[in-house]
Amino acid sequence: MFHYKLKNTQAPFYAVIFVSEKSETLNGFEEMDKVTLELASSIDGFIGYETVGNEKENIFISYWKNKECIDEWRKNSTHLIAKKMGKEMWYKRYVSQICLVESSHVMEK
């Protein structure tokens, strides 16, 4: 599975990389995943995302104009609830990293 939606690739910008392994308990996960993606997409400064994975393991990369936009998303009340549920129930393990993208090139056929 691969999903891609990127509005702009003109660097510099930021990438938030979220690598996860899901638990067996996923009650409400799919619904919250849709809601949080819609909310993140509505924030000015959200550039896009890529995701690849399967039912258990996933890499989700969101792209942002700057750190201030990331901080706005980090403080979003729905996102805070999703993070709490993720820690308590949905994930066995995850790694979250914020990276500066200094150069970006996209090739599509």
Residue 82, pLDDT above cutoff 70: yes
Rounded Cα–Cα distance for residues 24 and 6 (Å) = 31
Q: Is residue 21's pLDDT more than 70?
A: yes
Give SS3 for 12.
Answer: coil
* Closest C-alpha among 73, 75, 74, 20 to residue 46: 73
- Tens of pLDDT, residue by residue over 44-76, are 999 999 999 998 999 999 999 999 999 999 999
CA distance 18 to 79: 14
Please compute the mean of the pLDDT values over residues 9-38 and round it to a whole number: 95
Q: 76: helix, coil or strand?
A: coil
User: Tokens for 37?
Assistant: 């993606």
Does position 8 have pLDDT exceeding 90, yes or no?
A: no
Q: What is the pTM assigned to this prediction?
A: 0.89
Amino acid at 62: S
Mean pLDDT of the chain: 92
Pick the CATH number of 2-101 from 1.10.390.10, 3.90.550.10, 3.30.70.100, 1.10.10.10: 3.30.70.100
Judge whether 73 and 18 are in contact, CB under 8 Å: no
Res. 39: pLDDT tops 80: yes
